[in-house]
A and B are shown apart, each in its own frame.
Chain A
Protein backbone atom coordinates (compact mmCIF):
# COMPACT_ATOMS: atom_id res chain seq x y z
CA UNK A 1 0.00 0.00 0.00
CA UNK A 2 1.28 3.46 -0.87
CA UNK A 3 2.26 5.50 2.15
CA UNK A 4 3.89 8.74 3.17
CA UNK A 5 5.49 9.16 6.58
CA UNK A 6 6.48 12.48 8.08
CA UNK A 7 8.75 13.16 11.02
CA UNK A 8 8.86 14.51 13.56
CA UNK A 9 5.16 14.56 14.37
CA UNK A 10 5.60 17.78 16.26
CA UNK A 11 8.34 20.26 16.94
CA UNK A 12 8.70 23.29 19.19
CA UNK A 13 11.49 25.77 18.46
CA UNK A 14 12.36 29.38 19.25
CA UNK A 15 12.34 32.23 16.80
CA UNK A 16 15.51 32.31 14.78
CA UNK A 17 16.09 28.57 14.90
CA UNK A 18 16.46 26.48 11.75
CA UNK A 19 14.23 23.43 11.37
CA UNK A 20 14.31 20.43 9.06
CA UNK A 21 11.14 18.48 8.40
CA UNK A 22 11.30 15.02 6.90
CA UNK A 23 9.04 13.18 4.51
CA UNK A 24 9.64 9.62 3.33
CA UNK A 25 7.47 7.84 0.83
CA UNK A 26 6.76 4.41 -0.55
CA UNK A 27 4.58 4.71 -3.60
CA UNK A 28 4.42 2.81 -6.85
CA UNK A 29 5.19 4.81 -9.99
CA UNK A 30 6.16 7.89 -8.05
CA UNK A 31 5.85 11.14 -9.99
CA UNK A 32 6.16 14.12 -7.66
CA UNK A 33 6.16 15.22 -4.07
CA UNK A 34 4.45 18.32 -2.78
CA UNK A 35 4.72 20.34 0.40
CA UNK A 36 1.83 22.32 1.85
CA UNK A 37 1.54 24.61 4.87
CA UNK A 38 -1.71 24.23 6.78
CA UNK A 39 -2.76 26.90 9.21
CA UNK A 40 -6.32 27.47 10.36
CA UNK A 41 -7.39 27.75 6.77
CA UNK A 42 -6.58 26.19 3.43
CA UNK A 43 -3.45 24.14 3.03
CA UNK A 44 -1.32 26.47 0.95
CA UNK A 45 0.96 25.14 -1.70
CA UNK A 46 4.70 25.50 -1.06
CA UNK A 47 6.68 23.32 -3.43
CA UNK A 48 6.37 20.60 -6.00
CA UNK A 49 9.45 18.42 -6.44
CA UNK A 50 9.86 16.07 -9.34
CA UNK A 51 13.59 15.83 -9.97
CA UNK A 52 16.10 14.46 -7.52
CA UNK A 53 18.78 16.71 -6.06
CA UNK A 54 17.42 20.03 -7.26
CA UNK A 55 16.73 22.40 -4.40
CA UNK A 56 13.70 24.64 -4.57
CA UNK A 57 13.74 27.85 -2.56
CA UNK A 58 11.20 30.42 -1.55
CA UNK A 59 12.47 32.98 0.90
CA UNK A 60 13.47 31.20 4.09
CA UNK A 61 12.00 27.90 2.93
CA UNK A 62 13.78 25.36 0.80
CA UNK A 63 13.15 21.77 -0.12
CA UNK A 64 14.92 18.95 -1.89
CA UNK A 65 13.99 15.48 -3.08
CA UNK A 66 16.08 12.30 -3.00
CA UNK A 67 14.47 9.74 -5.29
CA UNK A 68 17.09 7.12 -4.54
CA UNK A 69 16.47 7.16 -0.79
CA UNK A 70 12.78 8.04 -1.24
CA UNK A 71 12.58 11.10 0.93
CA UNK A 72 12.32 14.84 0.92
CA UNK A 73 13.22 17.51 3.44
CA UNK A 74 11.78 20.93 4.04
CA UNK A 75 14.09 23.45 5.66
CA UNK A 76 13.00 26.64 7.31
CA UNK A 77 15.74 29.04 8.38
CA UNK A 78 15.43 31.94 10.83
CA UNK A 79 12.01 30.72 11.91
CA UNK A 80 9.30 33.20 12.89
CA UNK A 81 6.13 32.78 14.91
CA UNK A 82 4.20 33.02 11.64
CA UNK A 83 5.80 29.76 10.54
CA UNK A 84 3.78 27.93 13.19
CA UNK A 85 1.58 25.54 11.26
CA UNK A 86 1.17 21.94 10.19
CA UNK A 87 3.41 21.08 7.28
CA UNK A 88 2.02 18.41 4.99
CA UNK A 89 3.78 16.45 2.33
CA UNK A 90 2.00 14.49 -0.36
CA UNK A 91 3.18 12.06 -3.02
CA UNK A 92 1.63 11.72 -6.43
CA UNK A 93 1.90 8.66 -8.62
CA UNK A 94 2.20 8.80 -12.37
CA UNK A 95 -1.01 9.22 -14.28
CA UNK A 96 -3.18 9.77 -11.23
CA UNK A 97 -4.53 12.69 -9.33
CA UNK A 98 -4.77 11.15 -5.89
CA UNK A 99 -2.50 12.89 -3.49
CA UNK A 100 -1.23 10.57 -0.77
CA UNK A 101 -0.68 12.68 2.30
CA UNK A 102 1.41 12.14 5.37
CA UNK A 103 -0.04 13.00 8.77
CA UNK A 104 1.93 16.23 8.89
CA UNK A 105 4.49 17.83 11.17
CA UNK A 106 3.08 20.27 13.68
CA UNK A 107 5.57 23.12 14.08
CA UNK A 108 5.29 25.68 16.84
CA UNK A 109 7.66 28.63 16.89
CA UNK A 110 7.93 30.44 20.20
CA UNK A 111 8.72 34.15 20.42
Chain B
Protein backbone atom coordinates (compact mmCIF):
# COMPACT_ATOMS: atom_id res chain seq x y z
CA UNK B 1 0.00 0.00 0.00
CA UNK B 2 2.14 2.82 -1.28
CA UNK B 3 1.27 6.20 0.11
CA UNK B 4 1.29 9.44 -1.81
CA UNK B 5 4.47 9.68 -3.84
CA UNK B 6 6.19 12.87 -4.82
CA UNK B 7 9.29 13.42 -6.88
CA UNK B 8 11.77 14.80 -6.90
CA UNK B 9 12.21 15.18 -3.16
CA UNK B 10 14.63 18.05 -3.66
CA UNK B 11 14.91 20.34 -6.65
CA UNK B 12 17.37 23.14 -7.25
CA UNK B 13 16.71 25.65 -9.99
CA UNK B 14 18.25 28.92 -11.06
CA UNK B 15 16.08 31.99 -11.47
CA UNK B 16 14.21 31.89 -14.76
CA UNK B 17 14.20 28.12 -15.12
CA UNK B 18 11.16 25.87 -14.96
CA UNK B 19 10.30 23.54 -12.11
CA UNK B 20 8.13 20.46 -12.54
CA UNK B 21 6.87 18.70 -9.46
CA UNK B 22 5.15 15.33 -9.68
CA UNK B 23 2.60 13.68 -7.44
CA UNK B 24 1.18 10.18 -7.62
CA UNK B 25 -1.85 9.82 -5.35
CA UNK B 26 -2.55 6.82 -3.17
CA UNK B 27 -4.06 3.87 -4.94
CA UNK B 28 -7.77 4.39 -5.35
CA UNK B 29 -7.59 8.14 -4.80
CA UNK B 30 -8.68 10.42 -7.62
CA UNK B 31 -8.62 13.75 -5.79
CA UNK B 32 -5.34 15.63 -5.56
CA UNK B 33 -4.49 18.81 -3.66
CA UNK B 34 -1.33 20.87 -3.76
CA UNK B 35 -0.12 22.93 -0.80
CA UNK B 36 2.86 25.20 -0.36
CA UNK B 37 4.77 25.61 2.87
CA UNK B 38 6.96 28.67 3.10
CA UNK B 39 9.62 28.87 5.82
CA UNK B 40 8.04 29.56 9.21
CA UNK B 41 4.56 29.41 7.73
CA UNK B 42 1.81 26.84 7.67
CA UNK B 43 0.72 24.83 4.68
CA UNK B 44 -1.33 26.94 2.28
CA UNK B 45 -3.80 25.48 -0.19
CA UNK B 46 -2.94 26.05 -3.83
CA UNK B 47 -5.08 23.90 -6.12
CA UNK B 48 -7.49 20.98 -6.13
CA UNK B 49 -7.73 18.62 -9.07
CA UNK B 50 -9.62 15.54 -10.07
CA UNK B 51 -8.67 13.44 -13.05
CA UNK B 52 -8.38 15.76 -16.07
CA UNK B 53 -10.12 18.63 -14.23
CA UNK B 54 -8.99 21.59 -12.17
CA UNK B 55 -11.71 22.08 -9.59
CA UNK B 56 -10.30 24.98 -7.60
CA UNK B 57 -7.11 26.90 -8.25
CA UNK B 58 -7.95 29.85 -6.05
CA UNK B 59 -4.80 29.46 -3.96
CA UNK B 60 -2.42 29.36 -6.88
CA UNK B 61 -0.64 32.48 -8.15
CA UNK B 62 -2.21 33.63 -11.41
CA UNK B 63 1.08 33.82 -13.27
CA UNK B 64 3.81 31.26 -13.83
CA UNK B 65 2.03 28.47 -11.92
CA UNK B 66 -0.07 25.74 -13.49
CA UNK B 67 -1.26 22.29 -12.50
CA UNK B 68 -2.66 19.29 -14.26
CA UNK B 69 -3.84 15.80 -13.46
CA UNK B 70 -4.02 13.85 -16.70
CA UNK B 71 -6.04 10.71 -17.26
CA UNK B 72 -2.87 8.67 -17.09
CA UNK B 73 0.11 9.51 -14.97
CA UNK B 74 0.87 11.73 -12.03
CA UNK B 75 -0.36 15.20 -11.23
CA UNK B 76 2.13 17.88 -12.23
CA UNK B 77 2.66 21.27 -10.62
CA UNK B 78 4.61 23.46 -13.00
CA UNK B 79 6.34 26.70 -12.12
CA UNK B 80 7.71 28.68 -15.00
CA UNK B 81 10.47 31.28 -14.73
CA UNK B 82 11.08 30.56 -11.07
CA UNK B 83 12.05 33.34 -8.69
CA UNK B 84 13.72 33.15 -5.29
CA UNK B 85 10.36 33.63 -3.57
CA UNK B 86 9.20 30.31 -5.02
CA UNK B 87 11.62 28.49 -2.72
CA UNK B 88 9.42 26.41 -0.47
CA UNK B 89 8.24 22.91 0.27
CA UNK B 90 5.42 21.80 -2.01
CA UNK B 91 3.19 19.09 -0.66
CA UNK B 92 0.67 17.03 -2.50
CA UNK B 93 -2.22 15.28 -0.78
CA UNK B 94 -4.84 12.88 -2.06
CA UNK B 95 -8.21 11.60 -0.95
CA UNK B 96 -10.67 9.07 -2.29
CA UNK B 97 -13.50 11.59 -2.21
CA UNK B 98 -13.52 15.33 -1.96
CA UNK B 99 -14.63 15.53 1.67
CA UNK B 100 -12.53 12.64 2.92
CA UNK B 101 -9.28 12.83 4.85
CA UNK B 102 -6.34 14.04 2.83
CA UNK B 103 -3.14 12.03 3.03
CA UNK B 104 0.07 13.84 2.30
CA UNK B 105 3.15 12.99 0.32
CA UNK B 106 6.69 13.67 1.54
CA UNK B 107 6.92 16.95 -0.31
CA UNK B 108 9.30 18.46 -2.83
CA UNK B 109 11.69 21.03 -1.47
CA UNK B 110 12.37 23.59 -4.15
CA UNK B 111 15.37 25.88 -3.84
CA UNK B 112 15.77 28.70 -6.32
CA UNK B 113 19.27 30.11 -6.55
- The prevalent SS among residues of A at the interface is strand
Contacting pair B104 A36 (CB below 8 A): yes
Q: Chain B nearest CB: distance from A102 CB in Å?
A: 5
Contacting pair A101 B42 (CB below 8 A): yes
A98 within 8 A of B: yes
B90 within 8 A of A: no
Given known contacts A41-B106, A43-B104, A4 and B3 CB-to-CB distance under 8 angstroms: no
Contacting pair B42 A42 (CB below 8 A): no
Hey, which chain B residues are within 8 Å of A104, CB to CB?
42
Number of A-B residue pairs, CB cutoff 8 Å, is 52
Q: Chain A nearest CB: distance from B47 CB in Å?
A: 10
What's the interface size class on B, roughly? 20 to 34
Interface size on A, residues (CB 8 A): 20
B residues 21-74 in Cβ contact with A at 8 Å: 31, 33, 35, 40-45, 48, 56, 59
In the complex, besides A42-B104, A95-B99, 13 extra interface pairs with C-beta distance below 8 angstroms are A42-B103, A42-B105, A42-B106, A45-B103, A48-B101, A88-B42, A88-B43, A90-B43, A98-B48, A98-B56, A99-B43, A101-B35, A103-B42
